């Protein structure tokens, strides 16, 4: 049992420093402790014996003497408050027996013989107590026995509870580990396997690595796979960017100021703009910037690629004309494509919120 | 003259990668993997620029800046990070770093960023530009020094173009101003980022990641 540690205090001692030591251990005033001992000394000298017992106990190699002295002090105390001799004997036997059980077991354990012996002695004491007719012991004895039992069983139950908590924590850790292992297996290990198989195709390897990176970040930082967050424009754009990266082996850098509920037409138009840049611009990297304003959301998709003359888009190039402009205008937005041959292209998509 | 650069990062593979990518563009005079190593190394070699990871095993980048800056005021810091809480990136910038770029930056752009920082200019990645625009939202009035807590319309325009992926010279051409003027706008924004009392900055940063 975790008793507060206690050593005699030589600096402030009056006798052996027991009172000062207790006062220090409990954090109370030394005078208070001395008064308590003085009062107890009036109770048939119990305080004096108790003092000696504690002094002996503070030299731990004589713990048994201390225990016996403690029992004597307890007996004197009980006698002083008017408990009959027979009851005192009973109580001392109960206390002594339980102490024996306790000290040898470090708690009550049925498998330790000393524990068993102690319990037997305590039982004998209890029998003596219960046969005793005097009035105070009828009240005292069952209470003392219950209290003593509580003292023994309490710490044991407490430890059980602690162990159970520790077990639960360990189980949660194991489950988390398993979850991480599953995720790593489903994603990272699969990707590494794919990368090994496609080692001859640098673009494919780069796009695999890039996609894996996105997935991992989405999981590590947002705590959900990208693309499953339906409330975030940024998440929707990131998911679209990841698809484009994987399909065309380019890198899409996304920046944003603010976030909003995604608009389907806007996200699809942005995706189409990224796809066009990836297919026709001949660049490795595409910049996407989303800006959420008071009453408008703007998405910019930019590349530093070959560019083209917007006035000369052939009718067959359905991408820009239909997928981007038409789609967005039908949904109430606008799309502006700026491009200069040799300097790159920027698609500017705006939608009212 | 080549810029003398110290690399601070606890990932050996990444360090080797950056060193190889930078090649002859700069003179890498030292590498460190922890805060303690970095502080004594930087004080020893007194480099032009320190490329600084935001997270290290024994602390964060801003600790290094705070420990070194009083003794070596000439050393410029550039935060280089793979994915971090905006909170930490902002802490490094507010400690005095001249900018923040992501580890996915192309090698030639990284070399250009180092040169720019060495000259005392600021370097913003598109993501950081987006962050600043978001944290310094227009129309939100904040008590305190107005000059530090608000962006000018021109600064806003410049940041917007950076966020859209434009390079400084492209921005200059678009806005019909000189590249030097673009630089001075960005440096001014950096100063506001470092000195602003806008509580939005902190609140924003705790909620976001500059992934």
Instruction: Output the DSSP codes for A90-126.
Output: HHHHHHHHHHHHHHHHTS--TT-HHHHHHHHHHHHHH
Q: What percentage of residues in chain A have a pLDDT greater than 70?
A: 73
Q: Are A296 and A343 in contact (CB under 8 A)?
A: no
Distance from CA of A300 to the nearest CA of B (A): 6
B chain contacts of residue A257, beta-carbon cutoff 8 Å: 130-131, 133-134, 163
Enter the tokens of residue B13: 């593979």
**3-state DSSP assignment of residue B32:** strand
Place of tokens 């899409």: A252
A chain contacts of residue B160, beta-carbon cutoff 8 Å: 289, 291
More confident residue, A43 or A333: A333
Enter the tokens of residue A134: 């005097």
Q: Number of Cβ pairs closer than 8 Å across A and B?
A: 51
**Yes or no, beta carbons of B211 and A255 under 8 Å apart:** no
Enter the tokens of residue B9: 């990062």
More confident residue, A102 or A104: A102
pLDDT 10s digits, A217-265: 777 765 544 445 667 888 889 889 988 888 888 889 888 888 888 888 8
Q: Give the chain A residue nearest B165 (alpha carbons).
A: A287
Enter the tokens of residue A144: 């003392």
pLDDT of B14 reads 84
Please state the pTM of the whole predicted model. 0.61
Distance from CA of A241 to the nearest CA of B (A): 14
Touching B: A residues 267-306, CB under 8 Å = 285, 287, 289, 291, 294, 300, 302, 304
pLDDT of A136 reads 53
pLDDT 10s digits, A256-301: 888 888 888 899 899 999 998 998 888 888 999 999 988 899 999 9
**Yes or no, beta carbons of A253 and B166 under 8 Å apart:** no
Enter the tokens of residue A248: 């065309």
B chain contacts of residue A251, beta-carbon cutoff 8 Å: 104
Question: Torsion over CA of B107, B110, B115 and B117, rounded to 10 degrees?
Answer: -170
Residue from A245, A254, A274, A289 whose CB has the most chain B CBs within 10 Å, to mutate: A289
B chain contacts of residue A294, beta-carbon cutoff 8 Å: 139
A chain contacts of residue B106, beta-carbon cutoff 8 Å: 285
More confident residue, A142 or B110: B110
Provide the phi-psi class of A336: left if phi over 0, else alpha when psi is between -120 and 50, else beta.
beta
CA distance A32 to A39: 11
Q: Give the chain B residue nearest A214 (alpha carbons).
A: B211
**Kind and range of the H or E run holding A345:** strand A344-352
Instruction: Find which of A22-26, A107-111, B192-196 is predicted with most confidence, using mean pLDDT.
Output: B192-196
Q: Does B42 touch chain A (CB under 8 A)?
A: no
Could you tell me how far CA A222 lies from the centroid of its own chain? Answer: 19
Of A330, A46, A150, A292, residue with least CA distance to B130: A292
Q: Are B71 and B42 in contact (CB under 8 A)?
A: no
Q: Burial of A276 by CB count in 10 Å (0-12 exposed, 13-18 middle, 19+ buried)?
A: buried
* Average pLDDT over chain A, rounded to an integer: 77
More confident residue, B94 or A117: B94
More confident residue, A264 or B178: B178
B chain contacts of residue A289, beta-carbon cutoff 8 Å: 126, 130, 160, 163-165
**Yes or no, beta carbons of B131 and A257 under 8 Å apart:** yes
**3-state DSSP assignment of residue B85:** strand
Distance from CA of A273 to the nearest CA of B (A): 14
B39 to A4, B30, B34, B71: CA distances (angstroms): 46, 12, 9, 11
Q: How many residues in total does chain A contain?
A: 353
Give me the residue from A217, A221, A256 closest to B130, CB to CB.
Answer: A256
Look at residue B73 and tell me whether its pLDDT is greater than 80.
Answer: yes
Residues 6 or more apart whose Cβ sits within 8 Å of residue B33: B8, B9, B10, B12, B15, B56, B57
**Yes or no, beta carbons of B126 and A217 under 8 Å apart:** no
Q: Give the chain B residue nearest A291 (alpha carbons).
A: B130
Q: Are B146 and A282 in contact (CB under 8 A)?
A: no
Residues 6 or more apart whose Cβ sits within 8 Å of residue B96: B65, B66, B69, B77, B194
User: How many alpha carbons fall within 13 Å on the CB side of residue B192?
Assistant: 26
Residue from B127, B163, B208 whose CB has the most chain A CBs within 10 Å, to mutate: B163
Give me the residue from B106, B127, B137 closest to A255, CB to CB.
Answer: B127
| Per-residue DSSP letter, B3 | P
Q: Does A251 touch chain B (CB under 8 A)?
A: yes
**Yes or no, beta carbons of B164 and A302 under 8 Å apart:** yes
Give B162's pLDDT tier (boundaries 50, 70, 90). very high
From the CB of residue B73, how many other CB atoms can be counted at a distance below 10 Å?
9
Enter the tokens of residue B101: 């770029």
Q: Measured over all CA atoms, what is the biggest interatomic distance in chain B, rounded to whole angstroms?
A: 48
CA distance A305 to A248: 15
Q: Give the chain A residue nearest B209 (alpha carbons).
A: A221
């Amino acid at each position: 049992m975790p008793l507060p540690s206690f050593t005699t205090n030589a600096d402030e001692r009056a006798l052996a420093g027991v009172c000062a030591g207790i006062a220090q251990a409990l954090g109370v005033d030394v005078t208070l402790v001395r008064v308590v001992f003085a009062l107890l000394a009036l109770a048939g000298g119990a305080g004096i014996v108790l003092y000696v017992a504690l002094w002996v106990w503070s030299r731990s190699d004589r713990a048994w003497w201390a225990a016996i002295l403690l029992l004597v002090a307890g007996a004197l105390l009980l006698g002083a408050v008017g408990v009959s001799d027979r009851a005192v004997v009973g109580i001392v036997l109960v206390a002594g027996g339980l102490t024996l059980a306790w000290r040898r077991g470090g708690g009550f354990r049925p498998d330790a013989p000393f524990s068993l012996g102690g319990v037997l002695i305590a039982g004998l004491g209890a029998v003596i107590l219960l046969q005793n007719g005097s009035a105070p012991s009828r009240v005292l004895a069952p209470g003392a026995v219950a209290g003593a039992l509580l003292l023994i069983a309490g710490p044991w139950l407490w430890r059980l509870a602690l162990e159970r908590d520790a077990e639960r924590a360990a189980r949660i850790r194991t489950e988390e580990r398993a979850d991480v292992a599953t995720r790593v297996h489903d994603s990272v290990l699969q990707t590494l396997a794919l990368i090994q198989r496609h080692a001859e195709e640098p673009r494919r390897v780069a796009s695999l690595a890039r996609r894996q990176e996105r997935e991992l970040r989405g999981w590590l930082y947002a705590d959900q796979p990208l693309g499953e967050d339906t409330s975030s424009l940024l998440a929707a754009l990131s998911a679209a960017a990841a698809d484009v990266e994987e399909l065309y082996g380019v890198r899409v850098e996304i920046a944003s100021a603010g976030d909003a509920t995604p608009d389907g037409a806007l996200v699809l138009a942005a995706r189409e703009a990224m796809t066009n840049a990836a297919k026709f611009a001949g660049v490795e990297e595409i910049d996407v910037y989303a800006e959420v304003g008071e009453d408008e959301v703007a998405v910019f998709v930019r590349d530093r690629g070959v560019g083209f003359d917007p006035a000369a888009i052939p009718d067959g190039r359905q991408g820009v004309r239909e997928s981007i402009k038409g789609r967005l205008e039908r949904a109430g937005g606008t799309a502006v494509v700026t491009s200069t041959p040799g300097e790159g292209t920027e698609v500017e998509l705006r939608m009212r919120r | 003259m080549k810029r003398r650069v110290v690399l601070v990062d606890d990932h050996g593979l990444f360090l080797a990668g950056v060193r190889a990518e930078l090649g002859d563009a700069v003179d890498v005079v030292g590498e460190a993997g922890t805060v303690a190593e970095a502080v004594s190394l930087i004080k020893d070699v007194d480099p032009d620029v320190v490329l600084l990871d935001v997270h290290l095993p024994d602390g964060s980048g801003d600790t290094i800046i705070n420990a070194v800056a009083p003794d070596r005021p000439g050393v410029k810091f550039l935060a280089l990070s793979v994915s971090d809480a905006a909170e930490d990136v902002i802490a490094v910038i507010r400690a005095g770093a001249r900018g923040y770029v992501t580890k996915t930056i192309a090698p030639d752009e990284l070399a250009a960023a180092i040169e720019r920082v060495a000259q005392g200019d600021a370097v913003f990645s598109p993501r950081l530009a987006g962050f600043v625009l978001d944290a310094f939202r227009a129309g939100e009035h904040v008590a305190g020094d107005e000059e530090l807590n608000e962006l000018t319309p021109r600064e806003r325009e410049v940041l917007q173009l950076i966020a859209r992926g434009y390079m400084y010279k492209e921005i200059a051409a678009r806005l019909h101003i000189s590249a030097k003027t673009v630089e001075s706008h960005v440096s001014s924004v950096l100063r506001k980022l470092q000195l602003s009392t806008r509580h939005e900055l902190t609140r924003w940063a705790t909620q976001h990641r500059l992934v």
